[in-house]
Structures are given as C-alpha cells and as structure tokens.
C-alpha cells in the first residue's frame, strides 16, 4: 500500500501543477522495488520478479479489465508458488477496481498494485487506493443513519448493501470473499481505511470475520490492502 500511497501523493501534487522531484533510495533492494513498482511514473520502470503489477492508474473500466486479466495470467502462468491465488486476485482487481471507478468520483483515478511476498509465507498482496468520496460517504447516501465510518464500511461489505438504489448492486466485496473461500489459500486479510473508519476482514476457510478498529486519523478516499496467503 505504501507504493500506491506514494504514487497517488506524487500524481496529486503534479495534477495541481506543483513540481515533485523524487530521490530514488540508495539501498539496492529498496531502489529495485521503488523502480519496479512505478512509484514515480516519470522515472524508468525496471523489472523485478515479485512485482506482479506495478502501481497502475485506472480511470476507465477497460483498464480494470486489463489489470485484472494480466494479474491472473502472471499468477497462473509465471509464478507457480502462488498460482492457486490467480482467480481470487482476478476477482479482487475486477470487483474492487470496478467499484473504485464506479463510486470513487475523482479525476485522478484509482490506483492499484500487486506484489508477491515470499517470506515468512508465500502470499500475494493487492493494494487499491483513490482520493474519491470514500466508502462511508457513498454508503450514507442510501443509509444516512450509519454515522460511524468504521461500521459504515463494515456494513458496506455485506452482500446487496450499496450506496445506489439498485437491488442487484453491492455484490463486489462478497464476491471477493467468496472467491477467497473457493481458492486454495491459507488465509486472507483485507484492511479498508476510508475517512475516519478502519475495518479489517479476515478469511480463514470459513465465513469472513469482520472487525471495526480505531482509525488513527482521517483518510481522504478509500485505501484497501488485501493479503492472500497461499497454502
């Protein structure tokens, strides 16, 4: 998520006409990750085997399609140790990426990245962030009584709960958790931060366990990190 946050910080300032200069880390490993993750799009991107998807801007649904497909293909055809996570990663990118474009309502777009982590366990880490209106404000258009941001996020993850009036919407989060349960994974953990809310959902081959945790500060937009740990 740190790479996505940095990239959005850079893009936001540049979009406002401010000059942003980045200094690449001197530590060789940090430098390799910094360049591979495309944290500053003005710098050349280098390849690194754990970078499944560098930070990518998604302003249109077509880009979500591309990112979701490429993520699944890389996982299933190129990274054998985490290949069973391909379908769950596809579902996450397509549903949550689509949500971000649909409900995010901001010109900068939504940003996503996917990395493989091999220690201490083999896992795929997905991050999606945007500076849009945030989940609590969106969901309160339909449910104004949900005043607590953390609980508003928690309720928004339930099936058929949506900020729109369409009874068939609001299936994104539940689809993501269902895909995790039908995938050969050890566990999954999703952290959602938006406005003053922090919600954590854990999946360990059972129904998702939802916790509302104290948020340390207000965060504009929506910031989702999803770690899928392979068996």
Rounded to a whole number of angstroms, the minimum distance from the CB of residue 116 to other proteins is: 19
What is the contact surface with other proteins in residues (CB under 8 A)?
Answer: 61, 64-65, 68-69, 72-73, 76, 86-87, 90-91, 93-95, 97-98, 102, 168, 171-172, 175, 178, 182
Q: Which residue has the tokens 């474009």?
A: 101
Rounded to a whole number of angstroms, the minimum distance from the CB of residue 164 to other proteins is: 11
Rounded to a whole number of angstroms, the minimum distance from the CB of residue 169 to other proteins is: 9
Peptide bond into 43 cis (omega under 30): no
Euclidean distance between CA atoms 136 and 124, whole angstroms: 27
Euclidean distance between CA atoms 132 and 130, whole angstroms: 6
Nearer to other proteins, 150 or 188 (CB): 188
Q: CA angle at residue 170 from 166 to 174, to 5 degrees?
A: 155
Rounded to a whole number of angstroms, the minimum distance from the CB of residue 137 to other proteins is: 21
Nearer to other proteins, 36 or 139 (CB): 139
Euclidean distance between CA atoms 143 and 135, whole angstroms: 12
Nearer to other proteins, 33 or 124 (CB): 124
Nearer to other proteins, 35 or 157 (CB): 157
Nearer to other proteins, 25 or 84 (CB): 84
Rounded to a whole number of angstroms, the minimum distance from the CB of residue 127 to other proteins is: 18
């Amino acid at each position: 998520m740190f790479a996505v946050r940095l990239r959005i910080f850079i893009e936001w300032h540049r979009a406002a006409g401010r000059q942003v200069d980045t200094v690449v880390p001197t530590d060789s490993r940090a430098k390799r990750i910094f360049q591979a993750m495309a944290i500053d799009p003005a710098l050349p991107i280098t390849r690194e085997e754990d970078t499944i998807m560098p930070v990518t801007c998604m302003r249109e649904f077509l880009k979500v399609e591309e990112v979701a497909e490429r993520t699944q293909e890389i996982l299933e055809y190129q990274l054998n140790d985490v290949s069973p996570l391909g379908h769950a990663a596809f579902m996450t990118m397509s549903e949550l990426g689509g949500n971000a474009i649909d409900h995010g309502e901001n010109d900068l777009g939504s940003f996503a990245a996917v990395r493989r982590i091999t220690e201490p366990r083999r896992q795929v880490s997905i991050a999606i962030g945007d500076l849009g209106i945030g989940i609590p404000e969106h969901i309160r258009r339909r449910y104004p009584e949900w005043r607590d941001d953390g609980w508003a996020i928690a309720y928004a993850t339930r099936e058929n709960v949506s900020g729109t009036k369409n009874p068939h919407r609001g299936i994104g989060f539940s689809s993501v958790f269902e895909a995790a349960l039908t995938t050969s994974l050890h566990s999954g953990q999703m952290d959602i931060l938006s406005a003053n809310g922090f919600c954590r959902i854990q999946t360990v081959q059972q129904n998702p366990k939802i916790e509302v945790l104290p948020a340390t500060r207000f965060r504009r937009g929506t910031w989702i990190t999803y770690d899928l740990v392979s068996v």
